Amino acid sequence: AESWRVATGYTVWEATKDLLRQAGQMTGPQLLAQLQALTGSTGAGKRLLVRLRHSSEVKVVSGTDSPVYSWVE
């Protein structure tokens, strides 16, 4: 992680929420790919997807091919 992120206590969970917040909306596969890049791990990426699914700040709806994650303020 970048030193400012460590110094300010910027966590992977905060980075995950920022990613979706900035995008506004992403499909499950797009989001998983981004989270895998962020964490360097498929397992960690999947755990973050589950955490997002249960977050009150995120709405998940069934898309045509995959779930769509949307940020809600």
Predicted TM-score (pTM) of the model is: 0.82
Label residue 35 left, alpha or beta by phi (over 0 means left) and psi (-120 to 50 means alpha): alpha
Per-residue pLDDT tens for 4-63?
Answer: 555 556 788 999 999 999 999 999 999 999 999 998 999 999 999 999 999 999 999 998
pLDDT of residue 28: 96
